[in-house]
Structure 1
């Protein structure tokens, strides 16, 4: 397997006009491409607002859900208030004890695959690992992951009936909330029954919105990063051996993988008032895109950006977003990816790629390879 031929397909337009006008299901959306411009837009919530239920993702999700995902689909001060409520849960991965639990989980999920012959990584390893790790974050039993795994790589778009998938998730969340209201425990749902927003309890809709984002956000992106890391070390074994010998380097390596992989290509913002973006008129209530994947290859910020440099420092990538909407699940993603690299080094002696099929996203004249639809490997035990 070789690396993608073009890691940075946005480069010519980013270096030129700086904005790509792309069509998304009949909706023309200007994509902001430069690192500085993306960061500035991410900070300017008055001009580029997240207060747009179901319209922050591109394509939008109005056909698969009706609730506002919190805190991502809110501007200050609601965004900060909702985010602060969730920090005690989502910052758990920063503790050494939690990191050790994730290390043990990765080793346990990886062990049966060693020497097992052909292994499909995306659905056979990355999806179960992401789901099982989420049970630890949410304080739920690992058995709960069995149902979540059945939702697939993306809880809305993995399959032919996105609306039905959205309904499945909504029904699941409502059942969990009803059970928690009757008998609140120590998991996410029990914690939400005790939360106070502006001095009042959360409404059911607010709780559903938080849970909807928890299960939908970060799912396919973490799975993408896991598969990309395994594919990279399959053809770059010396890099893995170096990290095994010097584990302090793993944290920087994870940041570089997030930059280069950029699992979430972009995100939407809505303009409350008419504005201009790169020469394009954006009407009131129309959307723009903040393109993380392009910003992460901006050569005015990153030296030789298409090279993977696992010791790259500084590394001001935007793979976890920017501004006040910096990804709340970043600590969880980092914990999983750091543990994955460490355990790949400890438990494997080689990784053979048997076959693969890459994913692709199209933006009119630009196409971007991202992630794998399938990645089949053989893992050799050390």
Structure 2
């Protein structure tokens, strides 16, 4: 299989049928592949529901957690209530002083990287960046990230014992909630302890479910995006130099990387009642997939979708989802990626890839390049 096929393994089925019937650990799930169809399905939560604890991720996560992740595993009006509760936290990256902290963090990481003859980007740069930036979002001391870094690139699936990793995260969250300063605290866990929805306090499972999603969601996706952006600019230094001369273009470049990389392949929905997808009959309580990665390479919407065009506009990508369940962490991800591009442009003079091991999402019916297991580079000031 060619590199291009691994970037967009859904092309043939998207063009021919718009649906791929795929097997996931013995479960047959139709994947919706076309941009317009994915957007339409994402909007219609009355048919394609997220009210399915543990079944929104594909494969499902019954074996690694026991609580509903909120707000992603709920439909309106419950979803809306929890989303509104969390918006003040997740919109913090819009503040200028917050962006300045992200800029300073990335500058420090680049300075440390350039002081060494080589650095492994995935665990030595992207993972610490994602974890330390998360402390800013949650209003916690940066030292808290050291424990989170130890969880690896995915809080459930980095390593062989996913169940044990899920239990580790659960213990951490319960301990942090117990230790929270309910009266005076301003951090994430204190806010959860004081929060109310519909005039009542949150249950312990609701608090754990929100925290579980906060630590699990956006972790590996940000890490993959950071590492692939660095690898891209190692091979395309002239494009990075052009961005340095016009920082307004960095926002366009960020959106194009999110489209092209599509770090989250897809997400699940459960059919509220029997429905038809193309020629495929889906029964009530069966799952379908909204395939963001395929939609983001749909040639009906994007000219030359297999080419990175850093000035692409318009760019109606679905890299952060679509509909009421669009990614709550998108503002944080954009802040990190925009700053990364700017700091690479201004704080480095060259990036050389010394070695790489790619990470693929491998299923019976497709093989997709999502990121790197390791990426060894030399950075120069």
Q: CA deviation at 1:182?
A: 5.6
Residue of structure 2 equivalent to 1:17: 17
> Are the aligned partners of 1:18 and 1:33 in contact in 2 as well (CA < 8 Å)?
yes
Query: Hey, what does 1:348 align to over in structure 2?
Result: 348
Q: State the distance in 1 between where 2:218 and 2:277 align.
A: 28
Listed one character per residue, the Cα deviations across residues 116-143 of structure 1 (whole Å, up to 9, x for unaligned) are 1121000110000000000000000011
1:188: Cα distance to partner?
0.5
Structure 2: segments with no counterpart, 5+ residues: none
Cα offset, 1:6, TM superposition: 4.5
Equivalence for 2:157? 157
For the Cα contact (< 8 Å) 2:6–2:367, is it kept in 1?
no
Task: Find the residue that maps to 1:238 and give its secondary structure.
Answer: helix
Q: Single out whichever of 45-54 and 275-284 deviates more from structure 2.
A: 275-284
Corresponding residue for 1:106? 106
Distance in 1 of aligned mates of 2:317 and 2:236: 22
Deviation at 1:284, TM superposition (A): 1.6
**1:266 alignment counterpart:** 266
Kindly provide the CA deviation profile for residues 35-61 of structure 1, in whole angstroms up to 9, marking residues without a partner as x: 000000000101100000011000110
Asked if the contact 1:21/1:29 (under 8 Å) is kept, the reply is yes
Cα distance in 2, alignment partners of residues 166 and 183 from structure 1: 29
What is residue 176 of structure 1 aligned with on the other side? 176
Which one is further off, 80-89 or 97-106? 97-106
- Corresponding position of 1:139: 139
User: Counterpart in 1 of 2:287?
Assistant: 287
Quick check: 1:184–1:191 contact (8 Å CA) kept in 2? no
- Whole-Å separation in 1 of the counterparts to 2:156 and 2:348: 34
Q: TM-score, structure 1 length as denominator?
A: 0.97
Instruction: Indicate if the aligned counterparts of 2:182 and 2:193 stay in contact, CA closer than 8 A.
Output: no
Specify the alignment match of 1:187 in structure 2: 187
Residue pairs, 1:1-382, within 5 angstroms:
4=4, 6-180=6-180, 185-381=185-381
**C-alpha contact 1:4 1:369 (8 A) present in aligned 2:** no
Measured on the aligned residues, the alpha-carbon RMSD in Å equals 1.2
1:368 aligned counterpart, secondary structure: strand
Task: Please state how far the C-alpha of 1:365 moved relative to its aligned partner.
Answer: 3.1
In the alignment, the residues of structure 1 paired with residue 326 and residue 216 of structure 2 have an alpha-carbon distance, to the nearest angstrom, of 16
1:21-74 deviation digits (Å, cap 9, x = unpaired): 110000000000000000000001011000000110001100000100000000
> How many angstroms does 1:363 deviate by?
3.4
CA contact (8 A) 2:182 2:190 kept: no
CA distance in structure 2 between the partners assigned to 1:122 and 1:146 by the alignment? 15
For residues 215-263 of structure 1, the C-alpha deviation after alignment (integer angstroms, 9 at most, x for no partner) is 0000000000000100000000000001111111001100000000000
- Which deviations, in whole Å up to 9, do the C-alpha atoms of 1:338-357 show, x marking residues without a partner? 11011111111000001111
Which 5+ residue runs of structure 1 have no aligned equivalent? none
The verdict on how the C-alpha distance between 1:155 and 1:184 changes in structure 2, with shifts beyond 3 A counting, is: farther
Following the alignment from structure 1 to structure 2, what is the Cα–Cα distance between the partners of residues 111 and 3?
A: 32
SS at match of 2:349: strand
SS in 1 for 2:7: coil
1:4–1:353 CA distance, 2 compared to 1 (3 A): farther
Distance 1:363 1:278, change over 3 A: farther
Secondary structure of the structure 2 residue equivalent to 1:246: coil
Asked if structure 1 preserves the Cα contact closer than 8 Å seen for 2:43 and 2:322, the reply is yes
CA distance in 2, matches of 1:15, 1:158: 34
Rate the CA distance shift 1:178–1:135 in 2: closer, same or farther, 3 A. same
Deviation at residue 7 of structure 1 after TM alignment = 2.2
Q: Deviations over 1:175-207 (max 9, x none)?
A: 111112666510011111221100111111110
